[in-house]
Amino acid sequence: METLKKYRAAGGGNCAVRNVLDRLGDKWSMLIIIILGHEGTMRFNQLHHGIGDISQKMLTVTLKILEADGLVVRKVYAEIPPKVEYSLTERGRSLLPHLEGLAQWAEANMQGIYASREKYTAGV
């Protein structure tokens, strides 16, 4: 009961770990962190057009959250037209290997998972 105890001691639903992980569970955070981790520094429209299927609104919202959590730095250049560059902070870079580990696991296992899903729905 070690894990359960820890979880309940941490306040169950108010568990701080979950509070942190919940943010990463949204639709775009992980992808943006991984991309920024690989590309280094990117401008807003570079991310926007690069990802392609993210809306302008969700990109700003997600970047704002990542910035608030100290995972991404936003560097504004006082130019017209505007120029803003995004990159990972040290904290963001420390998260990167974990997300890549997850992504690699998903890539390695998605075949089997798809097979399981089909088998499961077929059996029901």
| Chain contacts with a second copy (rule: CB under 8 A) | 1-4, 7-8, 12-13, 16-22, 24-27, 30-31, 34-35, 37-39, 50-53, 67-70, 91, 94-95, 98-99, 101-103, 105-107, 109-110, 112-117, 120-121
CA distance 110 to 17: 26
45 binds DNA (CB under 7 A): yes
Element (H, E) at 41: strand 41-43
CA distance 20 to 22: 6
99 binds DNA (CB under 7 A): no
| Polymer length in residues for the chain | 124
Nearer to a second copy, 83 or 117 (CB): 117
Residue type, 81: P
Given candidates 6, 64, 91, 117, which one binds DNA under the rule CB under 7 A?
A: 64
- 110 vs 10, 61, 117, CA distance in Å? 33, 29, 10
Nearer to a second copy, 4 or 80 (CB): 4
72 binds DNA (CB under 7 A): no
Phi, psi of 43 (to 5 degrees): -85, 170
- Residues of this chain that bind DNA (CB under 7 A): 26-28, 43-46, 53-58, 60, 63-64, 74, 76, 80-84
